[in-house]
Amino acid sequence: MNLGYSDSQQAFREEVRDWLKAHVPAQALPSFDTEEGFEAHRAWERTLAEGNWGMVTWPEAYGGRGCDLIEWLIFEEEYYRAGAPLRVNQNGIFLLGPTLMEYGTEEQKARFIPAMASGDEIWAQAWSEPNAGSDMAAIRCSATRDGDDFVINGQKIWSTRAVFADWGFGLFRTDPDSERHHGLSKILVPLNADGVTVRPIRQLNGLPGFAEIFFDDVRVPAFNVLGGEGEGWRIAMATAGFERGLMLRSPARFQQAAKRLVRLYREHTQDLLDPSVEDAVLRCYMDAEAYALSTYQTASKLVGGGSIGPEASCNKIFWSELDLLIHETAMKLLGARGELEPATPSELQELGPWLDGFLFAQSGPIYAGTNEIQRNIIAERMLGMPRK
């Protein structure tokens, strides 16, 4: 056990910090759930790619730096510390990219990875369907073989980024006689293809953070099937584990929010506060750090060649409840002014991005498998309790 950074890790941190200091936009970008904001974030992805900072864990051949997970954590710490923009291409670089590298053919990699890395093609995910929310295996969207093509029909929902993105990926039923998790394939679909209709879904904040996608005889080449026909479920499961969670939910994000919460608390200690606030502030700071410690522990295990056990399923519940508590506590600190949507720079200065974060935090215990489902998984797979 060595809980200190090596000289080269330190040097890496300083390199990241210096680069971000020079490149992070001084003004916060507009939300990427607006057209303007989406393009601004795409431009930021290009800037990152130009510095080879787009995805530091990727091999150098794809514009990465071949970093290990510890370096990834350091990168993220600096990224959040610098207040750099959210990653509009997270579906691509965190979710699809690693899958492509593992299961894609050389031709597929050559076709998709460079454009993904450069931000030229931004990806939406298309997992859920109207009747397959937490029950992913209930997929009904079909992709029927027709010569060298597949013809897609059906509907996806809750597709993040789909409103403005260029491409989407998801699971489709390529074997019409199959049931549940058999007969599914992972297919990549251009969202400007004939027969694709994207209907935005507005979130609680009024912006279209996700969409429904309707497929009406959408024709894609068989080239777009990833990892082989009928292999969709296996591929999805293989890449649904810890690393995906880690990429999407860096501890640094929560630690940075907890730090802002402590500062907000310091500014308000003279107010008539709800007496539960002090306790919540302490808890948030501690839990954010606990999440980081746990992540470093797991990352160390993986870097050392180990693998992750079923205890990783605790992760989702912990960060999503932490994120809620951080934002609920901030809202308590803001008191009666907390209901205000900051519209001017001075309001944003006074109120911070807390309301928006509070709204977003509501979705944490829901997406990627509700926390109720997660508790079942922990009880059954980690603790070994009886299913039925």
Partner 1 sequence: MGMDFTFTEDQLSFVDAVRGMLSQEVTPERIRARWDTDTGVDTEFMTQVAELGVMGMLIPETLGGLGLGATDFVMLAQACGEMAVPEPIVEQVLVVAPLLTDILERGLGGDSLQAMVDDLISGQMTVAVSHPINPFINFGDRSNWVLAGQGEEVCLVARDAVALASKKSVDPSRRLFEAELDNANATPLASGDVGADLWRRTLNRGALATAAQLVGLAEAMVAQSVRYTSDRAQFGRAIGTNQAVKHLLADVAVQIEYAKPVVYRAAYTVEVSPSRADFAVSHAKVAASRAALLAARHCIQVHGAMGYTWECDLQIWVKRAWALAREWGDEGFHKNRIHEWLLQSNALLGPEFTFGRRTLTDTVAA
Q: Are 78 and 17 in contact (CB under 8 A)?
A: yes
Q: Does residue 365 bind partner 1 (CB under 8 A)?
A: yes
Q: Are 69 and 77 in contact (CB under 8 A)?
A: no
Nearer to partner 1, 185 or 329 (CB): 329
Q: Which does 55 bind (CB under 5 to 8 A by kind): a second copy, partner 1, none?
A: none
Q: Does residue 354 bind partner 1 (CB under 8 A)?
A: no
Q: Which of 15, 231, 243, 289 is catalytic?
A: 243
What are the tokens at 81?
A: 């510390």
Direct distance between the N- and C-terminal alpha carbons of the chain, in angstroms, rounded to an integer = 41
Stretch that binds a second copy, among 99-107, 146-154, 277-285, 333-341 (CB under 8 A): 277-285
Q: Which does 307 bind (CB under 5 to 8 A by kind): a second copy, partner 1, none?
A: none
Q: Does residue 286 bind partner 1 (CB under 8 A)?
A: yes
Q: Calculate the CA dihedral of residues 286, 267, 362, 191 and round it to 10 degrees.
A: -100
Stretch that binds partner 1, among 35-43, 57-65, 131-139, 216-224 (CB under 8 A): 131-139
243 is catalytic: yes
Least Å from the CB of residue 279 to a second copy: 4
Q: Site residues for partner 1, window 311-350 (CB under 8 A)?
A: 311, 314, 317-318, 324, 331-332, 335-341, 343
Q: Is the Cα dihedral 357, 363, 369, 372 positive or negative?
A: positive
CA separation for the pair 365, 313 (Å, rounded) = 13
Angle (deg, nearest 10), helices 354-361 and 314-334:
140
Q: Does residue 278 bind a second copy (CB under 8 A)?
A: yes
Q: C-alpha distances in angstroms, 330 versus 80, 322, 325, 348, 353? A: 18, 12, 8, 14, 10
Q: Site residues for partner 1, window 191-230 (CB under 8 A)?
A: 201-204, 206, 210
**Residue whose pair of structure tokens reads 């980690």 in the numeric block:** 382
H-run or E-run covering 219 = strand 210-221
Q: Which does 306 bind (CB under 5 to 8 A by kind): partner 1, a second copy, none?
A: partner 1
CA separation for the pair 53, 231 (Å, rounded) = 32
* DSSP string over 41-93: HHHHHHHHHHTT-S-TTS-GGGT-----HHHHHHHHHHHHHTTPPP-TTHIII
Q: Does residue 86 bind partner 1 (CB under 8 A)?
A: no
Stretch that binds partner 1, among 46-54, 217-225, 232-240, 290-298 (CB under 8 A): 290-298
Count of residues of this chain found to bind a second copy when the rule CB under 8 A is applied: 6
Q: Does residue 294 bind partner 1 (CB under 8 A)?
A: yes
Of the candidate residues 47, 301, 348, 357, the single one contacting partner 1 (CB under 8 A)? 301
Q: Does residue 286 bind a second copy (CB under 8 A)?
A: no
What are the tokens at 105?
A: 């053919």
Q: Are 174 and 231 in contact (CB under 8 A)?
A: no
Nearer to a second copy, 275 or 304 (CB): 275
Nearer to partner 1, 24 or 70 (CB): 70
Nearer to a second copy, 279 or 347 (CB): 279
Q: Return residues touching a second copy (CB under 8 A).
A: 274-276, 278-279, 282
- Provide the annotated active-site residues: 243
